[in-house]
Structures are given as C-alpha cells and as structure tokens.
Structure 1
C-alpha cells in the first residue's frame, strides 16, 4: 500500500513564484495525487461514519467548506445517517478497498473506529501520502503509538489526534501560567474523570447470536482475537473490553492529561504503579477478570526533571475516585466538574481546572486576586466547535509543517503516557498459577520504564502488553 510517487502540489507551488501562486488557481489534476491548491476544497474520506465519526465528519465538512468524498464503516447501520447527508460519497466496508479504488481522489482521511483498529488504518493512509486525523486515543497499545509518531515524520503528512481540548483557550492559558512560574515549581498533578460511563469489570458476554446482515463481524474484529458476535459490544460498549478499547484512560486521559502534559513539557515517564477495584463473585471469591477494565482505578506516574522543571508525579483517578479536596477551597465550592478535573500543586500555589483546562482558577484565591497573569504564547487557535477539525483541514491545504495543536509528534508520546496507566492496570491483574493450578494474585507492582526502548525493566510479564499480537494477516510496518 506504499506509494513511491512524490509529485507534490505544495512543491509545485513553492517552486513557482510566490506571486504567481497567489494570483491564479492551479487545477487539481495538474498538481498530482494527494495534494491540493490552497484555493481548492479538501477531499476527505472517513473510516468510521457513525457515532463520533459522524460528529467528526460534520465538523470537517463545515457546512460545505470541504468535500466528503468517501465513507467507510463495517456496520451499515452506524453509517446510515452520514450516507444520507453525503449521498455523493462512495461507500465501503473495507477501508483497504476504499483506498485502492478511491485513493486518487482522496487528500485526507479521518479515522473514528474502535481503538484497536486506529493504527492499522492510519498507517497505510499515511504511506499513500494522505493527511490523517485519528480519534483519541491515537492507538490501542504503546508500540503502535511509537510507530505512528515515526510515520508522521517519515511520510511528511499533516496529522491531528482528536483531543479537541488541545486547541482550546483553557489549555493555552494553563500552559502559560505553569511555564511562566505563576504557581512556582509544580511537583504533583492530580487528574480525574467520572468515566467509565459504560460497563467495566464485568464477565465476557455469553449467548449465541446471529451476525446482523448489516455488520461485517470479521472486519469489525480486525486485529483483535476472534470471538463470537454479541450485540453487547456495540455500538460503544467495546470501550470497556481490553481487546478493543482502552477504558477510562483511553477515553478521557487524552483530554485531561493533555493539559499537564503540555504545560509541564512532559515526555516519557520513568515508572507507573496502579491499584484497581477488585471484583468479587462470592465470599472471598475474586474474579481475575482480564477481559474488561476495572470499574475504577488509580495510577501513579512519575516523570523525571526536564531542564529547569523539577520531577513531577501525576496521579490518575477514574470511576468516581477523586483526590483529597485542597484546603484552599471552601467546603461549599465545586471541586472540578462532573466529567472530572485537574489540580496542579506548585511551591507557590495551585491551579484547579476542568476538562480542556476550562474554568481554571488559582488557589488560594485571595493570594492571586488582581494578579496580572501571563497570556498564552502559542500559534493562533481556531474557535468554535469545528475549530479542531478546521485547524487540521486548513493545515492539510498548506502541507507538511503547517501547525496543528495535536500532531502525532505530540499526540504519540502523550498517548504512550496515557497507555502507561493501562500497563499498570493490566499488570495489577496479572496472575500466575500456583502448584495446584489455581490463579494466584502476584500483588501491586511498580513498573520501571525505559521509554527510549519501550520496555519495563523490572517485571518482564508486563512487556506482553506493550505490543499486541494481531490476528490473521494484519501487520504494522513502516
């Protein structure tokens, strides 16, 4: 699925005089496959046309500002509304067939599928020179995130992960306050969410069900191990199952953790340890359930010093677990939002914010009342609900190097950090057989992480979760 053709509309325009490029329209067919003149609309294909995919399609389409030329979904029921809204778009179940037949007319691809298929869809698109937008989390496992980060640089395409808060004013403001020392040296960050809002810590669904005619179950499973069809997984309950989703961390971590990740200039962590809700099926009868994520969890993720920034501990909470309220808040004041919150602890004060860094407040309030706060020093961020997608589509027209808030060079390492929490969670659940063949819980572990080599150095059993084994002929090769 790789293309050796390197003709580039961007290169064509650059090699012409800038004045000429600004005063006439270069037809699409002259400039070659995969690139467009700034005056043209972007030709967008979407893999995953229902649910979040439907929302992303509408935002990128932006009332006709761009073209939706092809749709792909393994579930015709999910794609129905998008197909009605874009009747001229071709439709496929298999994205590989779509790329093969429609590739010449596609400039960019949006991927909004279950997590386990993100990487194997995005990579061949990038190899064909297509710009890509991939929903969060970027990938299902750490190895995949590293591969897509490398691919963005190798194939010189415009990339964006679907963590919309990275384009928000709230994120930018908190970033400026932290980096310019308003609350001193930040040593601890608490991040929490109310997720999951779907079942977790539950047994594998049972029962025999016929596969609906509208669903290609083999394609839906894709890279995941085979299991019989069950309607309990669809359309979004798959998030709670380890073969398909990434649980609460994957769903909301890329939103909430993004704010401190940027503000504190974090990169690879050095360790993680997690604790989880333990589910019991009877009196002293514990269910070692590795098929779905736990109902709630807590993870401690440690980061080293970065330049003048001190080492920092990030503590993640989900499933209703929250950190202790800061003393600077009165008992009646709200602590975060319904969806969760972020609390930075520094040597000179604290910052409390909601998702996307919104409604950020400095604590103690009386200390910072009337303080002149630094303004964000970042590239222009588009406004409105379509802003994150519009930023990406605008960048696609400009070409590689154009600014996006969450390019894979940022989104990849962020995703790796998010998935480190899941590494700790799955290692907590890891058990061994005792001499009688019964499962034996091995206890909570602190995993020491070698980020450069993607390896846990002190507990080899955890390394099996870094890179999945794909089913069948699915591969991920740069």
Structure 2
C-alpha cells in the first residue's frame, strides 16, 4: 500500500532534533535537578521531574506510582490519544500536555530529568533511545523493545550515556525471586536443569486475518503518531488500545506480554542470559472445517517454545526452559495431589526442576513454594539478598530513588543490563514462532549471540531489526 503523506508533526525539524540540537526558550516553573548540579545533586525540592510518554492504561498507573513515591513531579504528559490520556490529565492538571514526543523533547528537554515510556512495544526503543541520548533517565514498560537489535542497543546506551534505567516488570522487585534464589543457593532443590513457564495469555485476538480498514478514525487519536515506526496501514477498529499485542508489526504476543514477568525469576536464580538455540510448536487456526489458516501478520493462538541456555556459574550444565502460552501447562508435579491447586490462580506460573526437588511461583514470582509444599514452612536458607521496600509496588520508587542518587550509585531490580538480555531471549524465542510461517522454518534455530543472528535459517533474521518508517528512524 502506498504510504500516505504524514502529518505535519513529522516535519524535518522534529525528525532531526537530536542532530540539530534545537532547543526551545520556553520557561517552566520547575527547575530540573540536572540543571541545578548534575548527577547526585539534591535539589531543594528533592523531586525528580518526570515526563510520561503513553499515559493511559499501564502508563497511567506507572506515573501515578512514581508520584506516590513522594519524590517525583509528573510535569509533562504525552499521548497520541486524548481519550487514553484523560485520566492522567485529571490526576496531574498542572502537567503540560503534548501529543508528539519529538516535539516535547525538542521544546522541553532542558526541563526534564527522566522519561517514562509506556507505548505499544513497537515504539519503545525509539522513544527511550532518544531520551537517553539527551541524558535522561528512562523507565520503559515490558518488553523492553520490539526487536532484538533494539534491546542490545538500549543495553549499551544505558552505559554509554550513564543514565539510570528500569524495565516495567515489577515482579523483579518482589521478595519471591530473592527467596527462591536463597533456596537455590542453599542447595534445597539441587541443580536445576529444567524450567517451565506458562501463561493463559493471549486474552486478545491472535491467529486471525487483518481486519478491514475503518475510515472513522477517532478524532482524539493521531493515527500517524500511533503507528510510529511501523509500516503505514489504514486505521482499523479495536486495534487501539489493547489488541495491537497480537500483531507482529506492533506487539510481541503472549511471550512479550508475560515473559518478562515469568522468565525473570529463572534469569536471576540461575544466572542464565543468552540462549544458544530455540525451537517452537504453534497452535493452528482454521478458516473452515478442514483447511488450516496461515496469517503471518498475526501471532499464533498458542505456542510451546523450548530454549537452551548454556551452563552458568550457578548450574552444572545447560538449562532447558519451556515456555507455554494459550492455556497450555506442564504436567502436574507428582508431589501434588490430583485435586491440589498449584501455580497462579490467574493461569500463570514458573516451575524449577532440580536434582533434589522442585519449586514454583505464580505471576511476579508471588507465592514462592517448595515441593512438597510442607517443605516451604520449614525451609532454612540464609537471607542474603536485600529486599526492595514495597516489593512489586516498590519497583517504581526504586527507580525514582536511583535517578535521584545518580548513575551507578544504586542497584536496580531490572536495569537494562538485566532487562536487555532477558528481553533478547524472549524475542529470540519469537523468531522460532515466526519461522513456522516461513518454508522450512519448523526447525531448531541455532543462535550466534555476538553476531545477533540465527546461523542455520537465514529467513528469520529479517525480524531481528525492523525497517523504520520515514520520520521515525532509529539510528545508533
């Protein structure tokens, strides 16, 4: 489809604001901390000046939680959809409002300390990277990025620009991950060789045909800005605000949505990082009683993915991690009774299988439990990992405090040196899922981590880094 002319918001001065260094002379009543003295300086108000990009839904709760810390002022609100921004506008009536983050950066970057990014996945990296180039601390919703190359770029950028970072997988700050790490370090379950992670997601449409265009674009929505980096398409109904997750141009499927919550614990407990191979099986859809449908634009309705992680200093050999979505679950552990409930009530869970026992947890690493269950109450393991005050809710305040302290002064639960490799592994798993729609792609994919490439099936490498739409390019 021929790309339509973009809105005036995508003019050259906006596209090139990083290169030109254009600044605005607009004044603002709150002086940001970095202007008063740089990293580590305690301003008279001791407040972090925060701008939110994507302030509806999860973005709304993110900035509200930053404000609840008592040490952050939400000074700028940016959203392409006035409907989605409405609640945040009411909550923070003094905040200045923008629709285009590029315009906000251009005019206000001297008035901002930190940026919170809670847009659809496909725009995370672009918005965050340019903020980091401007020296702004960043909080980015999970998954960190849409593409593998972007995750590596942001991980390296955090170090290059010396900014404080956090991904929005708040379970990383829960006690459960730390408790399970202490059990594992105390050898209560022996050497873990196999992990299962599962979810009831997707709870949005997947495995479907792209809908017919709808000419009635809501007047409150800037469709061009919402598309951002993605290829231009005509507006379709119900894609915004949530169903975009099931389309590869914008989302990363169930794995991208829930993987950062459920796979985070194995990463921390076992010290795994980059996988070396991956294979997948996916659920089928049918266009009629006998004919299977193939809709490569859409994520599948279910999948079972198997990742192999190399031996770490906390394991005796490779670790096999199984990911299951669409309601698929692993076999019930023999330590549980036939009617006994296990995992999360919401249909999500993580199970560790070791040579001496097993342990599991639900979403956000809640309800950490040893098997048999009676072992949990009598477990004796030294408490060696510092807890985050408030657990998952404290994830937000932890970032605010880290930003106030300055780069390198505090450790964060999901800083990009942790979140980047986790996101890369999940996006690599999606390569195996997408390979099913390509001839000959139903194989085990071998991964060269340094080169960021699949070595035995080149067609899937096209998904490692997207082609960016004019006006929304991301260049290292």
TM-score when normalising by structure 1? 0.89
Unaligned runs of 5+ in 1: 6-25, 432-441
Matches within 5 A, 1:224-239: 224-239=230-245
**Structure 1 residue aligned with 2:438:** 430
**Counterpart in 2 of 1:123?**
129
Q: 1:238 to 1:36 in 2, by over 3 A?
A: farther
Q: Does 1:408 align with 2:416?
A: yes
Matched, 1:463 2:465: no
Q: Is the 8 A contact 2:175 2:391 kept in 1?
A: no
SS of the equivalent of 1:306 reads coil
CA contact under 8 A between 1:112 and 1:135: conserved in structure 2? yes
Structure 1 residue aligned with 2:87: 81
Where in structure 2 are the equivalents of 1:55-454 lying within 5 Å? Answer: 55-62=61-68, 64-307=70-313, 309=315, 310-337=317-344, 338-365=346-373, 370-375=378-383, 377-383=384-390, 386-401=393-408, 402-431=410-439, 442=440, 444-454=442-452
For residues 30 and 274 of structure 1, the distance between their equivalents in structure 2, rounded to whole angstroms, comes to 50
Conserved in 1, the CA contact under 8 Å of 2:69 and 2:397? no
Using the TM superposition, give the Cα deviation of residue 364 of structure 1 relative to its aligned residue in structure 2, in angstroms: 2.8
Task: Name the SS for the 2:436 alignment partner.
Answer: helix
Q: Tell me how far apart the structure 2 counterparts of residues 53 and 405 of structure 1 sit (CA, whole Å).
A: 19
The separation in 1 between residues aligned to 2:433 and 2:35, in whole angstroms, is 53
> Which deviations, in whole Å up to 9, do the C-alpha atoms of 1:70-124 show, x marking residues without a partner?
0000111100111111111111111011011111110000000000000000001
Deviation track 1:224-261 (CA, whole Å, cap 9, x = no partner) reads 01111112201111111110011100110000000111
Q: 1:92 to 1:371 in 2, by over 3 A?
A: closer
Deviation of 1:182 (Å) = 1.6
Residue aligned with 2:333, SS:
coil
CA distance in 2, matches of 1:372, 1:64: 37
Distance 1:380 1:368 in 2: 19
> 2:9 maps to what in 1?
none
Q: Does residue 36 of structure 2 align to residue 31 of structure 1?
A: yes
Contact 2:33 2:43 in 1 (8 A): no
- Displacement of 1:173 after TM fit? 0.6
- Give the structure 2 partner of residue 10 of structure 1: none
- Any unmatched runs of 5+ in structure 2? 1-16, 22-30
Alpha-carbon distance between aligned partners in 1 of 2:34 and 2:364, rounded to the nearest angstrom: 41
CA distance in 2, matches of 1:296, 1:130: 38
Q: Secondary structure at the match of 1:233?
A: coil
Aligned-residue RMSD, C-alpha: 2.1
The answer on whether the counterparts of 1:109 and 1:130 sit within 8 Å (CA) in structure 2 is: yes
* Cα pair distance change 1:276/1:98, threshold 3 Å: same
CA distance in 2, matches of 1:55, 1:443: 40
Answer yes or no: is the 8 Å Cα contact 1:34–1:130 preserved in 2. no
For 1:63 and 1:391, the matched residues in 2 are separated by: 9
Determine if contact 1:48/1:113 at 8 Å carries over to the other structure: yes
Residues of 1 paired with 2:221 and 2:32: CA distance?
39
The structure-2 alpha-carbon separation of the partners of 1:35 and 1:473, relative to structure 1 and needing over 3 Å to count, comes to: farther
Partner residue in 2 for 1:22: none
Alpha-carbon distance change, 28 to 118 in structure 1, aligned in 2, over 3 angstroms: closer
